Amino acid sequence: MNKVGPYLFYFFIFFVEILVNLSYNLYGDFAILFYLWVCALHSILKLIPNLFTLGNAICGFAAIVIAAKIDLSVQDDHSAAVLLRWSAGMIFLAMIFDVFDGMLARLVKVTSDFGGQLDSLCDAISFGAAPAFLILRLGQDWDSFFVRNIFACIAGLFMACAIIRLAKYNLENTDLEAGSFKRFKGLPSPAAGGCIASLALIRSYGSMEVPGFDFLTAKNVVSVWSVFGAVVVALLMVSPFSYPHLTKHILRKKVIFGWCFALPVIAPMVYLVPESLAILVFWIYALNFPARQIFYIAFRRNMVDSSQASVNDYYRR
């Protein structure tokens, strides 16, 4: 027994050493697998913002394809209305992708120049070409060949201004992290696209009957305003007027407080026609800030002129 004891002890030590080495190897393999899994997950996360950006472009392309099937001069109101709604809806869906791609990029910390350039290219499709195509289709409400050509020129102007706006945005914000700035110079192209898409939504209700709403009048108003409104929105994109970030602006406490005061007037309209909320949000955003800045400049100039006149009167005495 005394001779067997040392052998049992050595065998026990050898067995423990095997277990330690085996566990060490398993731990090492697990660590390697875990590292590879983390690297793969990080690579996938880096792709997600770009996939959302491409989703923006795909929605814009879908809006163009759907709008190409619209013929307001031939189709009945119902089928044309469905196509108008789907085309406008694709533009709004592109906006959702456009909002979330930047948020996801900042969340996973993968912001890059490539992502910024890709975002602008996709915006040119979704908020430049697609709304311009909708402008062409809205021009079909007019029988005059001359007016339709005017719509074609306006559509070209809109797309050109959207492309210029996006190019200026890329140049002016090369040193800034995406989303770090609070104001834009010129109307952002997604908001401009939303203005046109909201007109298409209101026009799509031409075949429906809602108590207290005259859609024939609304249709005529859209037909006329789409000419002037598209020009105004196109020029605002390349204007020097300052605009806040739309989403952040809507969520501000002062803005929410102001909407509460306007709720009794807006609520019945939104209840009857939910899509009217889009036309209120986008067109108020597009026209409100230039009007305020023009009023401020004019008021300030009048104040300076009146003060200068008072000083001149004082010295004349």
The whole-number pLDDT of residue 125 equals: 95
Residue recorded with tokens 């402008």: 135
What DSSP state is assigned to residue 64? Answer: H
Alpha carbon distance 66, 133 (integer Å): 10
Higher pLDDT, 315 or 135: 135
Cβ contact 101:53 at 8 Å: yes
What pLDDT was estimated at residue 93? 94
CA 57, 63, 65 angle in degrees (round to 5)?
105
Say what the pLDDT of residue 296 is. 84
* 311: confidence class by pLDDT, cuts 50, 70, 90: very low
- Check residues 287 and 5 and name the one with the higher pLDDT: 287
Q: Which residue has the tokens 């400049």?
A: 297
> What is the pLDDT, as a whole number, of residue 121?
92
What is the per-residue pLDDT for 177?
46
For position 178, what pLDDT does the model report? 44
Write out pLDDT tens, residues 37-81: 666 666 677 778 888 999 999 999 999 999 998 877 665 567 788
Q: What is the Cα–Cα distance from 167 to 185, expressed in whole angstroms? A: 12
More confident residue, 67 or 308: 67
Give the percent of the chain with pLDDT over 90. 27
Q: For residue 42, what pLDDT is reported?
A: 65
User: Domain locations in the chain?
Assistant: 36-316
Segment 180-204, tens digit of pLDDT: 456 788 899 999 999 999 998 888 7
- pLDDT tens by residue, 80-127: 888 888 999 999 999 999 988 888 887 877 777 788 888 999 999 999
Write the pLDDT tens digit of every residue in 217-231.
777 777 888 889 999
Q: Is 131 left (phi over 0), alpha (psi -120 to 50) or beta?
A: alpha
User: How do strand 183-185 and strand 242-244 relate by DSSP bridges?
Assistant: antiparallel
Quote the CA–CA distance of 171 and 69 in Å, as a whole number.
36
Q: Looking at residues 27-41, what average pLDDT do you find?
A: 58
Q: Please state whether 71 falls in left (phi above 0), alpha (psi between -120 and 50) or beta.
A: beta
Q: Is the pLDDT higher at 232 or at 145?
A: 232
pTM, rounded to two decimals: 0.75
| SS3 label, residue 201 | helix
**Domain made up of 36-316: CATH architecture:** Up-down Bundle (1.20)
